[in-house]
């Protein structure tokens, strides 16, 4: 008796759920970086570097999920431990460095002792995510030039699946040509540091709302990010889930990079 695989509808639901998870990560990273870049008042369009960085971090989550989960745990423990020891305000860059360093050590250990082709290609996936983010931001800016300033939820709903689809198209080429830029230890460290730094900043924002002393002069920025996080994450998750669901219905094969 043959065993039938999942239907296209079931495949679409599964793919949509996974894409929605990555979309939530993307929305949070994009919002946080967008706010930081806006406050720095740099002479560039903040959507471009924010989208590029969010694309890179999302690629690390999507392409190296097992290590990403471990790095998230390490970043959480390191963040709470560090904040418990601090008696003064903590700058976001210090928080990201501290949690990221814990993830870097874990990732380097993982890359050294665990054989995983997914982790070993993190360098290529990061480059593909960066470039996909830049292209996605340009698409968004083009849409904005026609329809005007978009609300945050619409921005992430368009940006996240657009970057995801571009990433799927270009990632295989990057993996073929740039999979050996870093040794396995370096690839693991890259994934661990990137994921843990993101988690550390998330912990910093949440704890800062309970204890404003943690964020100090950055309290307004942290409050702005937390207030707008549901809108940014919901838009990205909805757009990504729809794109993933339609991809499953269309019978697109899973990429094994």
Could you read off the pLDDT of 132-182 as tens digits, one per residue? 999 999 999 999 888 888 899 999 999 999 999 999 999 999 988 887 888
Query: Among 47, 27, 29, which Cα is nearest to 37's?
Result: 47
Could you read off the pLDDT of 81-122 as tens digits, one per residue? 999 998 889 998 899 999 999 999 999 999 888 877 667 788
Estimate the crossing angle of helix 8-40 against helix 152-178, to 10 degrees.
100
Following CA atoms 251, 133, 18, 103 in sequence, which dihedral angle do they give, to the nearest 10 degrees?
Answer: 140
pLDDT score at 11: 81
Q: How far apart are CA 96 and CA 194, in angstroms?
A: 9
- Give residue limits of the domains in the chain: 8-249
- CB atoms < 10 A from the CB of 3, how many? 4
pLDDT score at 153: 94
Q: How far apart are CA 235 and CA 27, in angstroms?
A: 8
Predicted structure pTM score: 0.85
pLDDT score at 80: 94
């Amino acid at each position: 008796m043959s065993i039938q695989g999942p239907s296209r509808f079931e495949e679409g639901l599964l793919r949509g759920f996974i894409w929605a998870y990555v979309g939530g990560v993307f929305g949070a990273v994009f919002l946080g970086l967008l706010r930081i870049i806006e406050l720095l008042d740099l002479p560039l369009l903040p959507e471009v570097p924010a989208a590029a960085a969010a694309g890179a971090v999302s690629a690390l989550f999507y392409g190296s999920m097992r290590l990403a989960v471990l790095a998230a745990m390490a970043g959480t423990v390191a963040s709470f431990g560090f904040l418990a020891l601090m008696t003064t305000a903590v700058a976001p860059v210090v928080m990201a460095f501290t949690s990221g360093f814990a993830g870097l050590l874990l990732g380097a250990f993982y890359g050294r002792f665990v054989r995983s082709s997914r982790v070993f290609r993190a360098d290529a996936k990061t480059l593909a995510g960066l470039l996909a983010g830049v292209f996605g931001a340009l698409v968004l800016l083009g849409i904005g030039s026609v329809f005007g300033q978009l609300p945050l939820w619409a921005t992430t709903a368009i940006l996240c699946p657009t970057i995801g689809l571009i990433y799927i198209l270009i990632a295989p080429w990057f993996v073929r040509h740039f999979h050996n830029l870093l040794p396995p230890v370096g690839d693991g460290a890259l994934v661990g540091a990137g994921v843990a730094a993101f988690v550390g900043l998330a912990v910093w924002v949440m704890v800062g709302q309970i204890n404003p002393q943690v964020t100090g002069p950055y309290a307004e920025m942290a409050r702005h990010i937390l207030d707008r996080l549901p809108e940014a994450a919901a838009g990205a998750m909805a757009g990504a889930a729809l794109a993933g669901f339609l991809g499953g219905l269309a019978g697109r094969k899973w990429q094994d990079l």
